[in-house]
Amino acid sequence: MATNRKQSSPQLASTAAAALQDPTSSATNRRLAASVVAQAGTPKQTGAEMEAFAGKVLQSPKYSDETKAFAASLVSQANKQR
């Protein structure tokens, strides 16, 4: 497996951590935020299932800019060979 040099930025990870603590955050937002926080400061890559989920979020007009930012970060950290 190729080395992943991309990581969630500290700024985005902080926003994601806040989203996880916000009781009004949607389940989708929390799911993506949890993955963003997990990938902050590590070489972890986004799994295939999460990559597909994040891709669907990016294509849908119903999600907030914050949720789409989390999704975009995860897609950018996915395995390029998929």
What local confidence, expressed as pLDDT, does residue 2 receive?
56
Residue type, 17: A
Averaged pLDDT for residues 6-33: 94
Note the pLDDT tens digit of each residue in 65-76.
Answer: 999 999 999 999
Note the pLDDT tens digit of each residue in 39-82.
Answer: 998 888 899 999 999 999 999 999 999 999 999 999 999 876 65
Is there a contact between 69 and 12 (Cβ–Cβ < 8 Å)?
A: yes
Question: Does position 3 have pLDDT exceeding 90, yes or no?
Answer: no
Name the nearest CA neighbour of 57 among 47, 66, 48.
66
pTM for the structure as a whole: 0.88
CA dist 12 and 46 (Å) reads 16
